[in-house]
Every structure is written in structure tokens, then in C-alpha cells.
Structure 1
């Protein structure tokens, strides 16, 4: 990379136009994630690249790798994959909590073929579906020492014939002899480190990837619960990581903290690829990441010891850290990044008041590689999730009934659309003789990505989110952002999570209702919560008709809020009440089909079907009748 073009000034929102005055193609970015690593190893061979903690309790016993050492491991692992038969169009699945071996294994999979990270917490059915779709026959997986549950899942997938090879990872810093692994007929099973020990660490024996080659397949949570597989090329991962690395607020000596799992794009792009551009060090938490409870009691000491400059986490992490006494010198922590879900104002205020550290919001999605907007700690825009990143274009559109788009001017709320060098080429829908088949599945329109998020843009390119398009509650033609209701309830001291959806209504089409979880020991009544929300929401139409307390709100297999399940519950409750007293109505259920809710009314032989249909006809919902089972 040309030194004059490498790092433009990028410290505030006014720098964007000067950055974009130079075309991205003129900046000489590396051709692939492998080329990026080679460049880092040549520039800073002896500098520490990775510090991996075995777990929070033993954070002082970390394992380290230099940039040159990381490249050597990647070469060994990639050469083993090549020897097994992995080529450029072959996917390698990786299913493991974070460990020192997983980082180079992920980069090696992108070098030899295509990395396909999997969340080991997904159902067996979904994992098998993703393996089939990716075509991966090699699975890099946690072993019995590292994660017994993931190992059991991997073993079962192999037994069912979904993979041909299990390459097993050990815990960080494992000193005891590795336990024997079971043999499986026709399946290669062995420890990755041992199998790769004899491979060449100096060079990759295969063909290196090109910018347009596929680099990774990432499961996306979506709104239906069934993950899709988003394809990334090397070019889009490099482009997105460079725009983050260009941050002038962090110098080459900055150290990042990473605790999100590597099946998440944030972990790959923000805390693995981005530091490679600047030779920055990354401290990786143990396999449980932010779910490791002892981490919070040690966190500020870890920040002081490693001189952490920045970190990335979700709002719930900062809510917990705000309650942890600052018992160390954390002056190195320049700012903390937050994203993935809306940041409640109370969390921001508490964290910043307790720590003095600014929370910087960002916005992104897997289909746009990872990050698409960033904020600036010294130039806050209240209510915004940040300014669009360089070279990414954004607009808001109104989607007409025929599916065509109408562009909206700045300041108008519509569906947020993104174009530019980070937009993905499509979802993996299958394979043919030419390789993987990619399809935008309606999300790509003339090079623009339909994010599914409602937003408005200001003239400076700052994004103000207004909820999910599919989650919008439309009450008698009046649009209600569910976040208004959720924010009101989250302001209640007893509420720990909230989800608002539309409940079918015979007069208004739908009305807002809410579901919440409470802090342990709280006994606040549902009606009291509804009264609280009514007093807090900015408009009467948004006041929830009911508030229902759940032990836990439904999530997708990828851990994202699953609104269809709440809409299904609201539909069932409304129709059960509306049909009460009609003869022959046995019960009401609600099914979810690709994110849509279908009411199912079960009736007996003496049901008055015309009367039942007349009631159902009052609602703008899909429904069907079912006989008694």
C-alpha cells in the first residue's frame, strides 16, 4: 500500500469528503485476507498480534502469537486443508468457541478455500442444513476438553454423514496430554495442531485467493429463525476492514479487546482483520467471551494490564460493566464501541458516568460485510448510530405495493438501502458445476441492499434508525415504531428486556402490545407496567394495550430477538378472546411460516363455521380452520 494513500485523516465527520476524493481502487489495498496477513507479518514480524486468554480466571496465563507466528500457523493449517483436498471453491466449516487455534484456523480456511463459521448452539437440523448448503465436508470443531457440548454435536453430525473430516481444537494453553478421540468409520478424526505439525510454515502450497474469490459464508439471523448463508468475497472483507482501520483515533500501538465469537462478523472483521492493517494487538477473551461471569470482576484489571484502547460489545455487556467498580487504571481505554441492538439511554448514561469512557455506536449487518456506519466520540450526534463509512452509499426508500422503490429525500424515514464495496454478492442457495449459487433473495436491487431497517438520513450521512420494516406497527394507518414502546418500558427499573409488536385488531388493523422480562425478585404487576408505558410514550397511539411478563423473550438460534414468536402469541390471545363462546371452537394456535403468522383455529364437528369465519374475517390476518385431532 502507498504510504501517502494508506491512512487519510479520519477523526471526525467532516473528513469523509476528503477521503472519498481519492478512489478506493487507488489506495492499493491487499488482494485478500491472506495478502493482508502476509503484509502484516513482513512489516511487524516480531510484534505481538494475538494474546488469547484461557479463561477469565486465568487471564494472566495467556498464550501469545506474533504476526510472523500467526502467518506460520495459517500456512500449516492451510497446507493440511490443501492436502486433504480443499480447493478454492470448497467450504471448510468451523464450529468452536474462541481458542488460540481457532483464529489461524479461520484465516487458513479463507486461504485454502472458503471459511464457513457455525454457531455450535444452533439446532442439529439447522447445522445440517447449513453444512449441506455450504457443501462443507471438513469440520474444524471444538474437542471434548474445550466444549463437550459442541464436540457432541460435531460427533453426531459426522455420524449422520454430514462431514468426512473432524479437525479437533484444544483449549488455549492446554498442557495435559490430549485425550484419545473416538474413531468413526470412514471419517478422518484428529487434532488439528498435531495433524498440521509437519506441514510447511513458510509458504502456502496452493494458489492464493483473488479479490473476487469467495472468502466466507456467514449464517444470518434474519427474522424467520432459520439462518440463511451470506457470502463474502475477499474484496468486501478487505474494503470494510480498511475503512475501520483508517480510524485516526487509534494509532499503530493500540490494543483491542475481543470477546465476541468468531462465527460473528464483528469478531472477524473488527477484531481480527482490522488490526492486521495497522499491526495492532488484540487480546482475545476465553471461550465463553462475555458470557464468562468471572470476566466482569477482572475486566478493569485486564484493561490496565494490557493497556486496552478500545473494545466492542453489545449493550447488555455495558449494562453489567457499569455496575462493576473501577478498581484499576483504565486511562488507556480511548472509547468503547457498541452495536448489534439499540442502546438504551440509561445504559449509555450509567456506563459513561461510572467509567468516564464514551460509548460509540455503530451500525452494520452481515449482508454488508459487517460495519456500515460509525460514530465519533468527540463529535456526538444524539440519536444517531453513526455516519456512513467511506465509499458506502446510503439512501432511504419507500417500497411501493408492486415492489419498486421510490427514493426519499434526506430527513424522511424509509427503508434504509446501502450500496458500495462492502455489499455482499448474495446468499448461498446451492451448488452447480460452476461452484456455489448465489441469490440476493430480494434483498439486492440494482446493486443496492435492502437492509430491512427503517431509518432517516441527515445531510451529513448520519443514520437514525427507526425500527425494522417488518416490525412496524400500523394502527389505523398510523405508523408506530416499536422502539418507542420498548424504550418506555426499558426505562422502568424492574424491566430488563422488552419487545413490542402489533396485535390484530378488528377496528384498527393492529394495536401495540408489549412483552417484557423482569429483574430477579421483581414483582411489578402487568397493569402497572402498561400504565407506566402509557405515561412514558410520546404519543397516545403508541401506548401498549397490554404488557405481558415472560421469563425470557424469544430469540433466534443466533441470539437475535425473534418478533414473529411474539406476534404469534399476540394473535393467539386476541383470537382466543374474540372466538370465546362460539360453539365448537376448541382452541386457537398461531404458526410461523417464513416470518409470517398464520392463525389456526381448531374446531369440532358441531362448530358454526360461518360464524367462525365471520369473526376471523374482521381481521387482516392469514388463518385456516383445522378439525379436531
Structure 2
């Protein structure tokens, strides 16, 4: 089969033209309609620019795959934009990737104008972007806002209302594939400006194929699309995976626990990929959503941040299905490992996917035996090509013989299960002792009064740095720093008990729901 994402999607669409592909706020869109829209986008892109990279700015809806596959059908590489970022960061991405054209939803019009880019709007092709996205597009950003008329204007026709059938012969066929770049995904990074991770057609296709085999999926599955498609986790697991396999994807552009639970029950969703914070919010949903029927949900999969034993137990007790924890990173396309039903090992992130080779090294670069903790390295066809325009950082992260240095601390047990124990550069070194913030956070999340917790390093004149816990208490719950310190002290060595505590109303989260420790370090460590 061709090693090209767009051709694979087109083959699926031609095989299943009348099958629903995406359901979003605007209604249902069939595979045939989605392909027709993508080909219309491709024609506009080819007429608009001859540059190799083209940006995509659209909500989690059918508009995104129409734009994304359209860019690929035009033989270009897609650069998904996080529309929640500030204007200077987006401008940096435009310069770094060298794009001058954005395929976008109309709600992103101010963003496109701020970039000074040419635009291809999916609504102009008779395709809807989904309702209720204008506020999301401008959330947290004062410099780029949706157009004033967006909130009051009638929505564009639904994807199923006017794109016609499959196009006839003579359409442009992309010739790029295999090792050619398909997508450039910018990571938020921990320091400085974001880096563009170059993912090839082969990288992403192999990850989709490996997920399919590992999870024993079929076209009958219904996927929940709640993660943003501009993020690696959402792009691969909630868009590429269902649409290349011929499944149905149910998109929720604006997250709320009630909307998600209702969507799962209404559409009989079977597969959901989300970060742990989302599952925690689903648990907190009040009636009637909390009583939603989730009997169809076979594979609720968590990644992006540690799951926590308390959350896993509460979710299974409340909804009757265990959360399956996995692990991944953008540079690995992104899924690396995941637990599966019947072979679920709580606390681990499961066994690596097919064609993913893990290795655990000590600080001297020696391979460690099962059970020993060290840095996790990965090799396989899902490993990215490198960082765009960053030769030094590419050389530092992508080792000889195809190995990717993840920067994560991990161990492999005798049965091949992977256990993530911390972040190498996230380690707190206190008085010569190495302390993993993730270990302390896991304990704090077991306390009944704690809704959320994050641990960072705080400066200390005697020990260099000490653990500092930032805690959000559950509504109506009470606990003091002394209470929580005593709780941790009963479960961990004394040197791992946080020496500083701060209670907050909330913690900052990224677009996938992951806690942004970089922001906590910037102000929390100084308080």
C-alpha cells in the first residue's frame, strides 16, 4: 500500500463513501463528503502557494481533517497551529516553517490576518467548521480575537449538505510519501521557543498501524475526539487513527464534562484517548451527566501525564470500566506504549507497540537489566526525522543508529511492561538525593481532600533545592500543609516530603489538559 497519509485516507473514503466519518456540532459528514472537501482544499492550496509547508488552523471538527488531508493531497506538509498561542509565538512558527498560507476555519480569521498570511477558508468551500468555536479560538488571547460577527452569524452548511459526491478522474495525485515530511508539529517545550518536530508519512502511518494492531481495532469502533487535533496526541489517536481505519469520530470542539459524557452515551463511543485531567473532570460531573451510560466504552486510554492509582480506581468504580494508561511523545508520532484489556498492569504504561524498540540506559550509556531505572531511549519507524532548522538539538536528541533520547526516566520489567518513573530533567536534587516529583504527586493524589497537585523544585540555601507542592483542594474539603505532609511522610522517605506548600484555586493547563509545570516554575518557585 502507498506510504502516503492522504492516499490512504482517499482509499478508505472511496471504499466507504456513504459511511459517517465525523460527527461534530454541525452534524454528520460522510467519508465521501470529507474526501471531496479535502480535494477542494487541495486545489485551492495549489493555486495559492508554491511553498512546501502550509498551516492548518481549525477546531476539533470535520473542518480539521478536510484542511489537513487537503494540504497533503496538494503534496505539501501540514503545520497545525495551536490557535490558543500568543501572536509572537505564532509569528515565530510562520517564519521558522516558512509558510505563507493557512487553511483555516472562519473563526480563525483574525489569527490569519495577524500572521499576514494568505487564507483558504473551509467555509468558502461549503464546509462547516463546527459551532461554538469562536470563543475557544480566542480563549486567553487579547491580541487575536474571532470576528465580531462570528457569534451571531448562522453556521455554514453542514458537511453533509453540499459538497457533492466523489470527484471524477483526473484529480491531482500526491507523489510525496514515505520519508518525506507530512506534518510539522510544534512542541510547547520546557525552555525558550517551540521546536518544530518533523514527522514523515512513514512515521505517522506506522504509528497508526501499530496502534491498530496493538489495540485490536476494527472499523466498527467509534472514537471520541476531545483532544485538539493540533496536538500530536489528538492528531494521531483521535483523527488519523479512526479516519484511516474507516471508523467514526465524534468531535467535541469545546470541552465540558457534560457534553463529553452525553456524546459517549449518544454515539455509543467505544474508544477514547484523553489526558488524565479530562477523566478526573468527568468523574466530577454532576447529575444528570454523572449517570450517563458508558457501557459502550471499551477503551478509555489515558496519556500525556501520570494517571494516578486513585483516579483509576474511582473511574472504574463509578463507570465500570478501567482506564488504560499509555505513554507517548511528539517525537515518536506519538504513541509508544499502552495497556490493553486482559493484559492491563496498573501503574505501568503497558507494553511498547509493535515496531517500537525500547532501551533503558544508565548515565554512562550502558544498557540496564529489567527492573533497573534509567533514561528511556526508543527506536523504530515512528521516531521523527528531527527538529526543523535545529541541527544541534536534533543531534542531541536523536542519537546514532536511530535512537531517540526521551529524557524520561523509566524501567522495563521482566514481562516487557514499561514503567515511567519521572522526567530526567524534572528531577529535584536535594542535598545530593534524587527526588522524582511524579512520585510525590502520585501520593498526594491519593489524599481524599486533594483534587490536583503538582510538585516543583524550590531553592533552598542548605540543600540547593527542595520539593514544593502546589495543591488544589476538592470543593468543600479541608486539609492543612501539616496534614498533607504527615500523609506523605507515612508513604515516602522523609527527604521526599515537600518542604514548601502552596494552596491554589487552580493550576495552569495546556490545551490537552496537562499541567504546565513550566509556568509553575516561573512563578511558583519564587514564592
- TM-score interval, normalised by the smaller of the two chains: 0.7 to 0.9
5+ long unaligned stretches in structure 1: 1-28, 55-61, 175-179, 183-190, 431-436, 574-629
C-alpha distance in structure 2 between counterparts of 1:557 and 1:223, whole Å: 15
Does structure 1 residue 349 correspond to structure 2 residue 309?
Answer: no
Deviation at 1:102, TM superposition (A): 2.0
5+ long unaligned stretches in structure 2: 132-145, 149-156
Matched residue, 2:375: 415
Matched residue, 2:323: 359
2:3 to 31, 41, 61: 31
Matched residue, 1:551: 505
What is the TM-score of this pair, normalised by structure 1? 0.72
1:374 to 338, 341, 357: 338
Does structure 1 residue 307 correspond to structure 2 residue 268?
Answer: yes
C-alpha distance in structure 2 between counterparts of 1:327 and 1:503, whole Å: 42
Number of paired residues? 495
Question: 5 Å matches for 1:50-449?
Answer: 50-54=22-26, 62-65=27-30, 67-86=31-50, 90-112=52-74, 113-143=76-106, 147=107, 150-158=108-116, 163-165=117-119, 167=121, 169=123, 171-172=128-129, 201-202=167-168, 203-205=170-172, 207-224=174-191, 226-247=193-214, 249-285=216-252, 287-288=253-254, 291-292=255-256, 294-296=258-260, 299-300=261-262, 302-324=263-285, 327=291, 329-400=293-364, 405-429=365-389, 440-446=394-400, 447-449=402-404
Does the 8 Å CA contact 1:220/1:558 hold for their aligned counterparts?
no
Deviation at 1:166, TM superposition (A): 5.3
C-alpha distance in structure 1 between counterparts of 2:354 and 2:447, whole Å: 38
Deviation at 1:237, TM superposition (A): 0.6
Does the 8 Å CA contact 2:33/2:166 hold for their aligned counterparts?
no
Matched residue, 2:14: 42
- SS across alignment from 2:362: strand
Does the 8 Å CA contact 1:497/1:517 hold for their aligned counterparts?
yes
Deviation at 1:368, TM superposition (A): 0.5
C-alpha distance in structure 1 between counterparts of 2:342 and 2:408, whole Å: 27
CA distances 1:142-199 after superposition (whole Å, capped 9, x unpaired) = 32xxx4xx433332222xxxx233536475467xxxxx989xxxxxxxx9x9xx9899
C-alpha distance in structure 1 between counterparts of 2:197 and 2:129, whole Å: 29
Deviation at 1:559, TM superposition (A): 6.0
Matched residue, 2:137: none
- SS across alignment from 1:69: helix
Deviation at 1:49, TM superposition (A): 1.9
Does the 8 Å CA contact 1:309/1:334 hold for their aligned counterparts?
yes
Matched residue, 1:542: 496
The verdict on how the C-alpha distance between 1:197 and 1:226 changes in structure 2, with shifts beyond 3 A counting, is same
The verdict on how the C-alpha distance between 1:329 and 1:482 changes in structure 2, with shifts beyond 3 A counting, is closer
C-alpha distance in structure 2 between counterparts of 1:518 and 1:42, whole Å: 52
CA distances 1:34-81 after superposition (whole Å, capped 9, x unpaired) = 121122123323322222234xxxxxxx2222x232222211111111
Deviation at 1:420, TM superposition (A): 0.7
Does the 8 Å CA contact 1:429/1:438 hold for their aligned counterparts?
no
Segment drifting more, 228-237 vs 520-529: 520-529
The verdict on how the C-alpha distance between 1:475 and 1:136 changes in structure 2, with shifts beyond 3 A counting, is same
Does the 8 Å CA contact 2:22/2:251 hold for their aligned counterparts?
yes
Deviation at 1:125, TM superposition (A): 1.0
The verdict on how the C-alpha distance between 1:381 and 1:135 changes in structure 2, with shifts beyond 3 A counting, is same
CA distances 1:9-36 after superposition (whole Å, capped 9, x unpaired) = xxxxxxxxxxxxxxxxxxxx53110121
What is the TM-score of this pair, normalised by structure 2? 0.86
C-alpha distance in structure 1 between counterparts of 2:445 and 2:356, whole Å: 33
- SS across alignment from 1:410: coil
The verdict on how the C-alpha distance between 1:441 and 1:204 changes in structure 2, with shifts beyond 3 A counting, is farther
Matched residue, 2:515: 561
CA RMSD of aligned residues (A): 3.0
C-alpha distance in structure 1 between counterparts of 2:96 and 2:182, whole Å: 16
C-alpha distance in structure 1 between counterparts of 2:512 and 2:389, whole Å: 19
Does the 8 Å CA contact 1:475/1:508 hold for their aligned counterparts?
yes
Does the 8 Å CA contact 1:79/1:204 hold for their aligned counterparts?
no
Deviation at 1:213, TM superposition (A): 1.3
C-alpha distance in structure 2 between counterparts of 1:248 and 1:421, whole Å: 18
C-alpha distance in structure 1 between counterparts of 2:86 and 2:511, whole Å: 7
Deviation at 1:333, TM superposition (A): 1.9
Matched residue, 1:9: none
C-alpha distance in structure 2 between counterparts of 1:455 and 1:427, whole Å: 24
Does the 8 Å CA contact 2:36/2:163 hold for their aligned counterparts?
no
Does the 8 Å CA contact 1:336/1:358 hold for their aligned counterparts?
yes
CA distances 1:339-378 after superposition (whole Å, capped 9, x unpaired) = 1111021111111111111211111110011101011121
- SS across alignment from 1:283: strand
Segment drifting more, 552-561 vs 223-232: 552-561
C-alpha distance in structure 2 between counterparts of 1:151 and 1:263, whole Å: 17
- SS across alignment from 2:396: coil
C-alpha distance in structure 1 between counterparts of 2:268 and 2:509, whole Å: 35
Deviation at 1:558, TM superposition (A): 7.5
